[in-house]
Amino acid sequence: MTIPRLAPFALCATFFAMTVHAQTIQVSKDNRTIAITATDKVLVLADVATLHIGFIAYGPDSDSAYAVGSRTSNAIVKALTSAGVPNDSIESENQNVSPVQEYQIDKLTPAEKAQRKFQVTQSWTVRTSANDAAKVLDLAVKAGANQSGQIDWSLKDENAPQSEAATKALQRARIVAEEMAKGLNAKLGTLLYASNETQAEPPRPLMRAMAAAPMAKTDVAPLAINPRQIEKTATVYAVFAIE
């Protein structure tokens, strides 16, 4: 039988006191133990999507840019709420009115530069079900959200898959402990101690367009977007008695 490859383990069979995660376990000939560290994971399809949507609008002066930005801003939010997205699922991230820097428009014609003296930017996060992500993004873009596209995937219930990963890790630890016990001509006994250590998920880079894109035509189909699988990992330290 092939033993799954795991994190390092320790076999303790001499008389000494062993401290494990703030708990002391007495080990002797009458109370021998096998200590195992095992890691396992589960993959779960995301059921929540958090969309990052926003826009950039220009004008020849601050007032003109703000007027265009105001119309675009309200059009985007109206499109979302009219489609049934709750107000409390739409959260503002940032908004800004500022002059356009010369390097941003240095390749434009003089006429185009004159129409882009000031800019208005605004962005939101919109929380929706994973299945509705493409629909919500499509609504926002067609309403003028030309700085959109990043989606953060998550789960409504983070605890269930984490518990499942811990259970699988503990089962893996027991399998290895049983094989070790056989090698010692012993029988695996009861579980004396176990601890679960959640593995941190690495941050994902935020990617967002940096230049305004033309507004999508209303007869264009939404993008094909599929929810991501989310990995939950758990590491279990388990101490078993051997008989």
Q: How confident is the model at residue 7 (pLDDT cuts 50, 70, 90)?
A: very low
Across the range 154-162, mean pLDDT stands at 94
Each residue's pLDDT tens digit, 12-59: 333 223 333 445 555 555 668 999 999 999 999 999 999 999 999 999
Residues 61 and 122 both lie in one domain: yes
Query: Could you list the residue range(s) of the whole structural domain that residue 182 is in?
Result: 10-45+159-201+233-242
Residues 60 and 126 both lie in one domain: yes
Is residue 130 in some structural domain?
yes
Is residue 218 in some structural domain?
no
Q: What is the rounded CA–CA span in Å between residue 48 and residue 228?
A: 10
How confident is the model at residue 100, as a pLDDT? 96
Residues 90 and 129 both lie in one domain: yes
CATH of the domain at 188: 3.30.110
Residues 128 and 197 both lie in one domain: no
Q: What is the rounded CA–CA span in Å between residue 129 and residue 123?
A: 20
Give the end of a domain, one of 154, 186, 215: 154
Residues 66 and 123 both lie in one domain: yes
Each residue's pLDDT tens digit, 167-223: 999 999 999 999 999 998 999 999 999 998 766 565 444 444 434 445 566 679 999
Q: Is the dihedral of CA 184, 187, 192, 198 positive or negative?
A: positive
Query: Quick one: which of 192, 234, 216, 224 has its CA closest to 31?
Result: 192
Each residue's pLDDT tens digit, 163-182: 999 999 999 999 999 999 99
Q: pLDDT averaged over the chain? A: 85
In the chain, what is the greatest distance between 2 CA atoms, to the nearest angstrom?
90
| Prediction pTM value | 0.75
CATH of the domain at 124: 3.30.70.2970
Question: DSSP per residue over 52-75, as a string?
Answer: EEEEEEEESSHHHHHHHHHHHHHH
Report in angstroms the alpha-carbon separations of 58 from 27, 68, 96, 214, 242.
74, 7, 12, 13, 74
Report in angstroms the alpha-carbon separations of 73 from 77, 78, 89, 92, 223.
7, 9, 16, 11, 22
Is residue 148 in some structural domain?
yes
